[in-house]
Chain A
Amino acid sequence: MVDTTIGAAGVIQPAEVKDVELYHPKSWVTKYVFCQDAKVIAIQYAITALGIGLVALVLSWLIRLQLAFPSSFSAIGPTDYLQFITMHGMIMVIYLLTALFLGGFGNYLIPLMVGARDMVFPYVNMLSYWVYLLAVLVLVASFFMPGGPTGAGWTLYPPQAILSGTPGQDWGIILMLASLILFIIGFTMGGLNYVVTVLQARTRGMTMMRLPLTVWGIFMATVLALLAFPALFVGCVMMLFDRILGTSFFMPAIVEMGQHLKYGGGSPLLFQHLFWFFGHPEVYIVALPAFGIVSDLISTHARKNIFGYRMMVWAIIVIGALSFLVWAHHMYVSGMNPYFGFYFATTTLVIAIPTAIKVYNWVLTLWRGDIHLTVPMLFALSFIVTFVNGGLTGLFLGNPVVDVPLSDTMFVVAHFHMVMGMAPIFVIFGAIYHWYPKVTGRMMNEALGQFHFWVSFLGAYAIYFPMHYLGLLGVPRRYFEMGDMAFIPQSATTLNIFITMAALTVGFAQMVFLFNLIWSLFWGKPAGSNPWRATTLEWQTPETPPGHGNWGKELPVVYRWAYDYSVPGAKEDFVPQNQPPTPRAA
């Protein structure tokens, strides 16, 4: 599919709308703080997300320390433990991964990759960040309120989430719900921008089927988010009312400490449905951008066109659509009609088909490629391995009969950390190493990067492989300590200590990464405008880092797809998307 003739899709159309005139910041404040430029907003999003993510990382150390050395830390009580896992899970999933992929990479890459000057509504885009920041601050505030943050588990299941047995009943849960509501409002403002920019603001010659897969992944993830977050929004609003006003949307008649509460008649299952109608698409909200980015990393660093581009696009679309039909596979143990179990198991397993197509296509892209084992490439490869690994255990858990005994054990923890914890995080790292030169003009340090990669990758396996085994033994999830349950052998304790050591080592590697981020800003090798010799538009900007308005005077015109690597007969082993075809020798 070497799309070099102009004839194929007709002549490049003239511009349908006039070029935009951008808002020009007049002061330092409007240039760097209340900035409307998507690139600055992206960096603001990324720094905030990494900052709050660091909190979640530290929490994971505390969780692990407690699990390895129960009753050695007087500072960590059962209450604290529940609060730690809750905040760790929620921050990682929502405030780190979602915000970084969509708010961070979405903002930076979409306008550049589709050849636009900025997002379509920069002002709304700016608000999006500030509302997100507010959501993060409200979340952080819950650590300092009397009673501390909520310990309801990141799934926030009622009735327990708002009863006095759960830590953070005073303020924690209220601030958690408020923060989520704010996050959703903020995200919606940004998300509308991303979708409209991709649909309506592409440059001349940029058809949907010439978009880099990164844009496809982020675009589809944003669509999912715009349709899935409403369910969470409604769930949060109703739970907030249950907690503050004493309504009973989710609360059945209930006895607490021997006392009849005033609740009655609500449906706890309703919340689970709302939560997972959001929760499952959420998995793909972080997975689809990862899919897209990995495709581009692999193609660039293996100097080969992506295998089966059209199939890749359709797989993204089909996965996105199917992800709305499977939510109740998280509720096999909540009690439901067996026929529903059958339906949800079937749809869950069907998703494996488009997903497998993607994995095969990545492997076929690598096949006989000119593979450069750069740090971004290593992370991309580790994503494939880790994702397949987590996907396979997902097939186990998708079957009700297998899921019921494994549910709420460490097996589940291992599964989702593989598939939506480690795998997308690896892509985030890979993407940061890949695009850092464009954002800052300097390369990140390669040696430190290699160190970061190997420790994180091997470490992730050292952490989560044993957890599968613990889960099969029946070690439950969200337990402060095991006590002496007869079915848990002594060796499990040893294993737990091993896992914790691995987790702390991986944690240390992240510090090296942060150091590298800052060090390279000042002392990294100057990168030039296109260090990876990549084809996509963001590498063809007149300035590096790209200036205000991205493209100087003239918008780029696109003549080909994003994957013209190693084209036979071409001068270089890559042909940028905006390079006009050479007229055929007559």
Chain B
Amino acid sequence: MADAALVDPGIAPARPPGWRGIVTDWSSDQRAFKNVSWGKAMMWIFLLSDTFIFSCFLLSYMTVRMSTTVPWPNPSKVFALHIGGVEIPLILIAIMTFILISSSGTMAMAVNYGYRHDRVKSAVLMLVTAAFGATFVGMQGFEWTKLIMEGVRPWGNPWGADQFGSSFFMITGFHGTHVTIGVIFLIIISRKVLRGDFDREARGFFTSRKGHYEIVEIMGLYWHFVDLVWVFIFALFYLW
């Protein structure tokens, strides 16, 4: 349903440039954001809310890091790997970050091909994105296993403040859940793209609404957001 209303950027009335244009849009009827479909608006607002969740997590982590009286373990030691006899600090995290950021690139290309109705390229790029995401989660899993083997637990660790393990598992876990959900949806959507659901405007199984290529872009918004959050986690948890 709502097919058209959902994605149709519609006719945008001419508007003056800059701030006055924004004021004109907001004082107009029907829509405050012209050329923004319902789905995209909803995703943006959800991401705003999610930003507050991640901010609260990160601020809480910083607070307990300051409130605890025990020294904080040194992240560049904890997250170092022995490779070929040398200890390289943060190497795994650096690779993970690189992978996740690359996945943003493939995602952006998938969106582009989606809008050109290039089914195969779009779907393949989404699957590549999903593979990057899955690799990221896999490496995160490796990291978790390594720390757990070394004795890190949510309630304590061998090197210092208990809150280190708690914050680490909680924040990376919450972010990892976001990535995992993203991977699952990437696979579902790429399957639909490949089947040509969006060319036929096939109806969704649950929502019974017609599908459109726009969903690829909405997926992309989510994916870029999850990447962006990782940058903050990287900076505030691993580099601090």
Contacts and interface: CB of A to CB of B under 8 A. Distances in A.
A465 interface: no
Given A123-B207, A230-B52, A249-B60, A208 B27 contact: yes
A1 interface: no
B166 A248 contact: yes
Contact of A16 (B12, B49, B170): B12
Contacts of B163: 247-249, 265-266
Contacts of A229: 49
Contacts of A14: 11
Counting chain B CB atoms within 10 Å of each CB, the highest count among A200, A227, A558 belongs to A200
Contacts of B48: 226-227
A106 B162 CA distance: 44
Nearest to B8: A17
Contacts of A23: 1, 207-209
B57 interface: yes
A307 interface: no
Contacts of A227: 48-49, 52
Interface stretch (B62-70, B74-82, B90-98, B104-112): B62-70
A234 B53 contact: yes
A205 B42 CA distance: 23
B162 A265 contact: yes
Interface stretch (A191-199, A334-342, A486-494): A191-199
Contacts of A238: 60, 170
Interface string B160-196: 0111011000100010000000000000000000000
A264 B163 CA distance: 9
B28 interface: yes
Give the size range of B's interface with the partner.
35 or more
Contact of B206 (A123, A193, A274): A123
Contact of B31 (A202, A235, A249): A202
A301 B29 CA distance: 28
A238 B12 CA distance: 46
Chain A: interface size category: 35 or more
Given A247-B154, A265-B70, A16 B52 contact: no
Contacts of B68: 248, 264-266
Contact of A201 (B8, B27, B38, B162): B38
A176 B208 CA distance: 35
B160 to A, nearest CB: 10
Nearest to A12: B29
A229 B53 CA distance: 9
Interface in A1-41: 9, 12-23
Contacts of A207: 27-29
A270 B5 contact: no
Interface in A511-546: none
**Which of A9, A196, A201 has the most CB atoms of chain B within a 10 A radius of its CB?**
A196
Contact of B57 (A15, A19, A195, A234): A234
**Residue of B1, B13, B55 with most partner-chain A CB within 10 A:** B1
A226 B163 CA distance: 28
Nearest to A268: B67
Nearest to A557: B29
Contacts of B115: none
Contacts of B206: 123
A204 B29 contact: yes
Interface in A155-213: 188, 192-193, 195-196, 199-210
A270 B170 contact: no
B203 to A, nearest CB: 10
A558 to B, nearest CB: 7
Nearest to B66: A267
B239 interface: no
Interface string B121-149: 00000000000000000000000000000
A233 interface: yes
A262 B166 CA distance: 14
B34 interface: yes
Contacts of A188: 46, 49
Interface in A203-257: 203-210, 226-227, 229-231, 233-235, 237-238, 241, 245-249
Contacts of A264: 68, 70, 162
A121 interface: yes
B67 A266 contact: yes
Contacts of A248: 64, 68, 155, 162-163, 166
Contacts of B41: 196, 199-200
A85 interface: no
A274 B207 contact: no
A13 B28 contact: yes
A17 B48 CA distance: 25
A18 B34 CA distance: 14
A237 B177 CA distance: 14
A18 B4 contact: yes
A249 B64 contact: yes
B32 interface: yes
Given A230-B56, A266-B163, A267-B63, A237 B170 contact: yes
B26 interface: yes
Contacts of B161: 265
Given A207-B29, A234-B53, A241 B170 contact: yes
Nearest to A222: B45
Given A204-B30, A205-B29, A265-B67, A120 B2 contact: yes
B218 to A, nearest CB: 12
A230 B32 contact: no
B155 A247 contact: yes
Contact of B36 (A19, A200, A270): A200
A117 to B, nearest CB: 9
Contacts of A558: 29
Given A202-B30, A234-B60, A270-B64, A249 B166 contact: yes
A274 B60 contact: yes
9 contacts: A12-B29, A13-B13, A14-B11, A17-B10, A19-B5, A20-B1, A123-B206, A241-B166, A277-B56
Q: Which 5 A-B pairs have the closest CB atoms?
A: A265-B68, A18-B4, A20-B2, A230-B52, A247-B166
Interface of A: 9, 12-23, 120-121, 123, 188, 192-193, 195-196, 199-210, 226-227, 229-231, 233-235, 237-238, 241, 245-249, 262, 264-267, 270, 274, 277, 558
Interface of B: 1-5, 8, 10-13, 26-34, 36-39, 41-42, 45-46, 48-50, 52-53, 55-57, 60, 63-64, 67-70, 154-155, 161-163, 165-166, 170, 174, 206-209
Given A188-B46, A266-B163, 10 more contacts: A18-B5, A19-B5, A123-B206, A196-B45, A200-B38, A203-B29, A233-B56, A247-B165, A262-B155, A267-B67
